[in-house]
């Protein structure tokens, strides 16, 4: 058993990250030097050129927000022009730059960093924490992503792992990992819903757990909905209160806003414990005459609820969708499991109980449960199933495609090949042919999303079948197999139907990085 | 009492499978010893001189190679070396017969030198021979591509792969056509336990190309599961089977008249009802065929071509009903 390779589990979160592993059959959530099992997903670039990552960097968020990257997960694998990135740019104090292929880059101290580099630095920190604990070099990991992450986001997460010197053996969905942590080894036979309300994303995943089989029935998510929204809302209220108190606007004062963000988060935490919170910020800004001005603000739970209820309410639209996709009603579920820091908010818990008509399970640590599940899956992948002991069979995850995969047909109609919630790995094939005489290449644009209009979906990239035999139109027939693998990542293979030979393809990934950029990234990283 | 050589053939070839290439014998007098199982051999090499031919004739499906020495044990050593180099050598039991092996110590030594399973004198009584061969075979993998797996698992994978090529969705999953959703899901889960690529990751290096086949088989089984657990797709599939169009869920390949009738439908509800009606017509249940058409029409009351179709189904039903009341036959 111990001869197996060690595959750790890493929860790469928007706000915090966590690492766990299975040693001799027991799950260990790995603490850092100061005994903390959570690391802030923050990378700070200091003036002297050094970089600090994790909890140590947390302080820099307030001191030097422009040179400190947080919530990078909100940007990874997305197009610069997407609504999510545009919105994030509004909220985030650091600079986000548009790349040639519309990828976002982060501009800090005259240097340009790709998102996988930033996430890579966080993963490297997690790996170091792990190495110290297990006393050897960890080389493989299962990394978790939100269930609704698309192909590009997953690929970029894998790339981040690679940059951190980790072979990302599997990318699994956070809620699925949570289900694994909850049910594995307890002989559960139940239908459960994982209500995953994190910092930047929300998703609901419905699973049927039958002993060691964890079958996802449906998942739905909102990629722009999270606990950060509570903070943003509170920040607005605080800024507004400040303006009312002193008649001074904080508009454009990035440092003041970063401080408010910090305060808002703290207030939110405080209100999970107590009924009332008092905000007292010294010298938040200056009066026109240069005098320092303080902010005083009092907020109780009821006030918080009034401020933020509509944000939490939006999660239930997603729940409706997931239940519909699974063909179930809220009452059919045996158990509701809360995951993600935002589920600590009492208002959220109350609303969840009301919606599902049962009290959610809260006795598992929402911050660590995802990493624990990832570690269990890592151990399952490392073990030779057919020789392992039969009284404790390894878990088997049957997950689903996060979004529909389709292509643009001739008249820009969106043709779905693999439906959302189809079990993965899965494969669908389609035959393509030339539309002009002598045509030697065919281009296929692939998308992910649920909209009927092609352009409203996320463009994954363009596949080019090239070097085709010059022939009258329609004569060359190429069968293209579109696969979504167990990571939720799209793989495309093409075959000439006449010769049966593999057809050459080129895949240009949207919002991806070309070879030169990749080389530069790796050089920066390891240099 | 089963004839012992038949028993040997059975052992060598595996009980359930009708393989004709399980055994390779070499050396004429060895052939005589195994005379009654020669029919099961794909090749009998008269002399060991034709070494290449012998080695080539050992295929993926060969489980037992019987060699007899005539004139020189050096040659047997060479053959064994070459057999051991075969990709699937781990699933071969090798038996060498020679009069020199009357000396037990010598036989055991030779066994080790050659790395073969058994070295026995030609005079070994048939019963003892069968006993020894059968225990040697147990140490070896079945005739499976997945020889590196435990026998039971390899057998299960083999049998699923065989079913995938020839069976329909129900036989592939191993359920009856009337199976309910719970039965289908549980059958799928059972197959997933052995076929899912995650189950094979840890020993992936040992498989080579065959891992791809397991992965493909899993994708097929998973697709089957998705068809059979969707009420709409499952009935479409039943129609495909009934009209003998395809063993797969390919409603686009249905015969033209059936397809064009389905294409009339614009809503899912009407389509489901028409599928039901077509199934009823193909099985001679005109009353329910008519009823289903009625449902389809109520889903799309303004669909006139669909109404026409429903009307003609109604006529046939009336006709059947009339002949039923006249002949008092047994329509239902």
Using the beta-carbon criterion (under 8 Å), do A426 and B153 form an inter-chain contact?
Answer: no
- Among A125-129, A395-399, B26-30, the minimum mean pLDDT is found in B26-30
pLDDT band at residue B19 using 50, 70 and 90 as cut-offs: very low
Most confident of the ranges A128-132, A363-367, A510-514, B101-105: A128-132
List the 182-201 stretch of B: residues with Cβ below 8 A of A.
185-186, 189, 192-193, 196-201
Specify the pLDDT at position B2. 39
Q: At what angle do helices A151-163 and A515-526 cross, to 10 degrees?
A: 40
CA distance A405 to chain B (A): 16
Number of CB atoms found within 10 A of residue A459's CB: 19
Tokens at residue B145, please? 């591509």
- Residue A368: HSE in the Cβ half-sphere, 13 Å Cα cutoff: 14
Averaged pLDDT of chain B: 78
Q: In this structure, what are the phi and psi dihedrals at residue B116, rounded to the nearest 5 degrees?
A: -100, 170
pLDDT band at residue B18 using 50, 70 and 90 as cut-offs: very low
Residues A204-222 as b/e (b if ≥16 CB within 10 A, e otherwise) read: bbbbbbbebbbbbbbbbbb
Query: What is the rounded (10 degree) CA torsion for B57, B58, B59, B61?
Result: 130
At A262-287, the pLDDT tens digits run 899 899 989 988 888 988 888 888 88
At A104-160, the pLDDT tens digits run 999 999 999 999 999 999 999 999 999 999 999 999 999 999 988 999 999 999 999
Q: At what angle do helices A254-273 and A55-63 cross, to 10 degrees?
A: 130
Residue A425: its chain B contacts at CB < 8 A? Answer: 197, 215, 218-219, 222
CA distance A485 to chain B (A): 10
Which run of H or E residues covers position A142? strand A140-145
Spell out the alpha helix ranges (H) of A110-214. 115-134, 151-163, 174-183
Q: How far apart are CA B53 and CA A236, in angstroms?
A: 85
Q: Which residue of chain B comes nearest to A215, CA vs CA? A: B189
Phi-psi region of A400 (alpha: psi -120 to 50; beta: other; left: phi over 0): beta
Q: For residues B152 and A78, which has the higher predicted lDDT (pLDDT)?
A: A78
At B242-278, the pLDDT tens digits run 988 788 898 888 999 999 999 999 999 999 999 999 9
Three-state DSSP class for residue B158:
helix
Q: Of A352, A355, A317, A321, give the one whose Cα is nearest residue A338.
A: A352
What is the average pLDDT across B69-79? 69
Question: Which pTM value belongs to this model?
Answer: 0.78
Residue A488: its chain B contacts at CB < 8 A? Answer: none
Q: In this structure, what are the phi and psi dihedrals at residue A200, rounded to the nearest 5 degrees?
A: -125, -10
Specify the pLDDT at position A387. 72
Using the beta-carbon criterion (under 8 Å), do B192 and A396 form an inter-chain contact?
Answer: yes
SS3 labels along A402-456: CCCEEEECCCCEEEEEECCCCECCEEEEEEEECCCCCCCCEEEEEEECCCCEHHH
pLDDT band at residue B208 using 50, 70 and 90 as cut-offs: low
Spell out the alpha helix ranges (H) of A217-253. 227-246
pLDDT band at residue A383 using 50, 70 and 90 as cut-offs: confident
Q: At what angle do helices B181-195 and B151-166 cross, to 10 degrees?
A: 120
CB-closest option in A4, A210, A385 to B189: A210
Q: How far apart are CA A313 and CA A27, in angstroms?
A: 35
Length of chain B: 332
Tokens at residue A495, please? 């075959």
pLDDT band at residue A526 using 50, 70 and 90 as cut-offs: low
Q: In this structure, what are the phi and psi dihedrals at residue B99, rounded to the nearest 5 degrees?
A: -65, -25
CB-closest option in B199, B203, B222 to A426: B222
Specify the pLDDT at position B16. 34
Using the beta-carbon criterion (under 8 Å), do A380 and B198 form an inter-chain contact?
Answer: yes
Burial status of residue B63 (CB atoms within 10 A of its CB: 0-12, 13-18, 19 or more): buried
Residue A390: its chain B contacts at CB < 8 A? Answer: none
Q: Is the pLDDT of residue B34 over 70?
A: no
At A303-346, the pLDDT tens digits run 899 889 999 999 999 999 999 999 999 999 999 999 888 999 99
At A409-465, the pLDDT tens digits run 877 889 899 999 999 999 998 888 888 898 888 888 899 999 988 988 988 888 888
Specify the pLDDT at position A153. 93
Using the beta-carbon criterion (under 8 Å), do B192 and A427 form an inter-chain contact?
Answer: no
Asked if B87 is an interface residue toward chain A (Cβ–Cβ < 8 A), one would say no
For residue A361, what is the DSSP state?
A: B
> CB of A180 within 8 A of CB of A144?
no
CA distance A215 to chain B (A): 9
Residue B185: its chain A contacts at CB < 8 A? Answer: 215
At A187-217, the pLDDT tens digits run 899 999 999 998 778 999 999 999 999 999 9
Number of CB atoms found within 10 A of residue A492's CB: 16
Both ends of chain A: CA-CA distance in Å? 37
Specify the pLDDT at position A423. 92
Q: Which residue of chain B comes nearest to A377, CA vs CA? A: B198
Burial status of residue A411 (CB atoms within 10 A of its CB: 0-12, 13-18, 19 or more): exposed
Residues A416-449 as b/e (b if ≥16 CB within 10 A, e otherwise) read: bbbbbbbbbbbbbeeebebeeeebeebebbbbbb
> CB of A78 within 8 A of CB of A509?
no
Using the beta-carbon criterion (under 8 Å), do B199 and A422 form an inter-chain contact?
Answer: no
Q: What sign does the dihedral A410-A500-B154-B169 (CA atoms) show?
A: positive
- Among A74-78, A223-227, A321-325, the minimum mean pLDDT is found in A223-227
> CB of A408 within 8 A of CB of A445?
yes
CB-closest option in B153, B197, B225 to A425: B197
Specify the pLDDT at position B142. 47
- Give Cα A263 to chain centroid, integer Å: 25
Q: Of A128, A139, A207, give the one whose Cα is nearest residue A172.
A: A207
pLDDT band at residue B332 using 50, 70 and 90 as cut-offs: very low
Three-state DSSP class for residue B200:
helix
What's the count of helices (H) and strands (E) in chain B, helices before strands?
A: 15, 5
Asked if B268 is an interface residue toward chain A (Cβ–Cβ < 8 A), one would say no
Q: How far apart are CA A214 and CA A217, in angstroms?
A: 9
Residue B226: its chain A contacts at CB < 8 A? Answer: 422-423
Q: For residues A227 and A68, which has the higher predicted lDDT (pLDDT)?
A: A68
Residue A215: its chain B contacts at CB < 8 A? Answer: 185, 189
Q: How far apart are CA A172 and CA A176, in angstroms?
A: 7
Contacts of B153-161 spanning 24+ positions with Cβ under 8 A? B153/A386, B153/B194, B156/B194, B157/B194, B157/B195, B157/B214, B157/B217, B160/B191, B160/B194, B160/B195, B160/B217, B160/B221, B161/B213, B161/B217
Q: How far apart are CA A431 and CA A414, in angstroms?
A: 16
Specify the pLDDT at position B6. 54
The residues of A annotated with a catalytic role in the active site are 11, 73, 174, 196
Q: For residues B44 and B169, which has the higher predicted lDDT (pLDDT)?
A: B169
Contacts of A238-243 spanning 24+ positions with Cβ under 8 A? A238/A263, A238/A264, A238/A279, A238/A295, A238/A297, A241/A295, A241/A297, A242/A284, A242/A285, A242/A293, A242/A295
What is the average pLDDT across A160-186? 94
Residue B216: its chain A contacts at CB < 8 A? Answer: 427
CB-closest option in A382, A383, A386 to B150: A386
Rg (CA), chain B: 30
Angle value at C-alpha A226, between A222 and A230, nearest 5 degrees: 140
Phi-psi region of A187 (alpha: psi -120 to 50; beta: other; left: phi over 0): left
- Residue A73: HSE in the Cβ half-sphere, 13 Å Cα cutoff: 30
Length of chain A: 527
Specify the pLDDT at position B331. 45
């Amino acid at each position: 058993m111990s001869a197996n390779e060690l595959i750790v589990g890493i929860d790469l979160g928007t706000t915090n990250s966590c690492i766990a592993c299975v040693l001799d059959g027991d799950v260990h959530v790995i603490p850092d030097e100061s005994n903390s099992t959570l690391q802030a997903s923050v990378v700070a670039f200091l003036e002297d050129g050094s970089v600090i990552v994790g909890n140590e960097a947390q302080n820099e968020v307030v001191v030097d927000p422009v040179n400190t990257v947080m919530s990078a997960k909100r940007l990874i694998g997305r197009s610069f022009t997407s609504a999510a990135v545009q919105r994030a740019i509004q909220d985030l104090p650091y600079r986000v730059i548009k790349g040639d292929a519309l990828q976002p880059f982060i501009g800090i101290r005259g240097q340009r960093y790709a998102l996988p580099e930033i996430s890579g630095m966080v993963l490297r920190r997690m790996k170091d924490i792990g190495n110290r604990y297990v006393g050897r070099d960890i080389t493989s990991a299962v990394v978790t992503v939100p269930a609704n992450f698309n192909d590009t986001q997953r690929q970029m997460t894998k790339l981040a792992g690679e940059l951190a010197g980790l072979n990302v053996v599997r990318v699994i969905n956070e809620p699925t990992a949570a289900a694994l942590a909850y049910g594995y080894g307890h002989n559960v036979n139940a239908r459960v819903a994982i209500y995953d309300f994190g910092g930047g994303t929300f998703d609901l995943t419905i699973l049927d757990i039958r002993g060691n089989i964890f079958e996802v029935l449906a998942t739905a998510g909102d990629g722009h909905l999270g606990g950060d929204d509570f903070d943003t809302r509170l920040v607005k209220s605080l800024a507004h209160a400040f303006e009312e108190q002193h008649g001074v606007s904080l508009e454009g004062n990035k440092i003041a806003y970063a401080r408010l963000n910090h305060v808002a988060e703290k207030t939110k935490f405080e209100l999970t414990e107590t009924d009332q919170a008092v905000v007292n910020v010294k010298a938040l800004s200056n009066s026109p005459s240069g005098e320092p001005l303080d902010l005083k603000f009092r907020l109780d739970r009821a006030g918080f609820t009034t401020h933020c209820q509509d944000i939490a309410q939006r999660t239930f639209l997603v729940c409706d969708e997931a239940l519909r996709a699974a063909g179930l009603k809220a009452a059919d579920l045996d158990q509701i499991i809360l995951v993600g820091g935002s589920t600590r908010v009492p208002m959220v818990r109350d609303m969840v109980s009301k919606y599902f008509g049962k009290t959610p399970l809260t006795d598992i640590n929402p911050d660590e449960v995802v990493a624990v599940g990832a570690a269990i899956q890592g151990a399952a992948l490392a073990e030779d199933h057919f020789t392992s002991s039969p009284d404790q069979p390894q878990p088997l995850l049957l997950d689903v495609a996060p979004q529909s995969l389709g292509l643009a047909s001739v008249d820009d109609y969106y043709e779905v090949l693999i439906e959302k919630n189809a079990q993965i790995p899965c494969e669908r094939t389609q035959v393509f042919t030339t539309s002009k005489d002598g045509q030697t290449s065919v281009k296929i644009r692939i998308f992910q999303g649920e909209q009927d209009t092609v352009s409203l979906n996320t463009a994954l990239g363009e596949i080019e079948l090239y070097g085709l035999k010059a022939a009258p139109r329609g004569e060359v027939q190429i069968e293209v197999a579109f696969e979504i693998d167990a990571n939720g990542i799209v793989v495309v293979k093409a075959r000439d139907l006449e010769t049966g030979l593999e057809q050459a393809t080129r895949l240009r990934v949207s919002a991806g990085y070309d070879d030169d950029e990749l080389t530069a990234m790796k050089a920066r990283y390891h240099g | 009492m089963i004839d012992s050589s038949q028993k040997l053939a059975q052992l060598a070839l595996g009980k359930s499978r009708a393989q004709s290439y399980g055994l390779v014998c070499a050396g004429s007098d060895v052939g005589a010893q195994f005379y009654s199982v020669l029919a099961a051999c794909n090749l009998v090499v008269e002399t060991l001189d034709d070494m290449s031919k012998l080695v080539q004739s050992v295929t993926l499906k060969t489980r037992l190679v019987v060699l007899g020495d005539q004139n020189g044990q050096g040659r047997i050593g060479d053959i064994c070396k070459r057999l051991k180099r075969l990709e699937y050598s781990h699933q071969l039991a090798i038996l060498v017969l020679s009069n020199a092996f009357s000396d037990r110590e010598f036989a055991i030594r030779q066994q080790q030198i050659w790395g073969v399973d058994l070295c026995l004198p030609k005079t070994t009584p048939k019963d003892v021979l069968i006993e020894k061969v059968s225990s040697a075979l147990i140490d070896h993998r079945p005739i499976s591509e997945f020889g590196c797996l435990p026998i039971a698992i390899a057998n299960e994978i083999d049998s699923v792969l065989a079913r995938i090529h020839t069976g329909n969705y129900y036989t592939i999953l191993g359920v009856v056509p009337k199976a309910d959703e719970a039965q289908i899901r549980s059958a799928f889960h059972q197959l997933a336990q052995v076929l899912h690529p995650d189950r094979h990751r840890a020993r992936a290096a040992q498989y080579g190309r065959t891992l791809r086949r397991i992965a493909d088989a899993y994708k097929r089984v998973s697709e089957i599961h998705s068809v059979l657990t969707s009420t709409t797709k499952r009935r479409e599939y039943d129609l495909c089977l009934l009209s003998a169009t395809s063993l797969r869920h390919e409603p686009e390949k249905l015969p033209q008249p059936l397809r064009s009738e389905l294409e009339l439908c614009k809503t899912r509800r009407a389509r489901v009802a028409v599928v039901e009606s077509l199934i009823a017509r193909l099985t001679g249940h005109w009353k329910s065929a008519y009823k289903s058409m009625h449902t389809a029409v109520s889903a799309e009351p303004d669909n006139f071509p669909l109404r026409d179709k429903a009307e003609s189904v109604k006529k046939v039903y009336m006709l059947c009903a009339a002949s039923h009341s006249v002949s008092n036959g047994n329509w239902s």
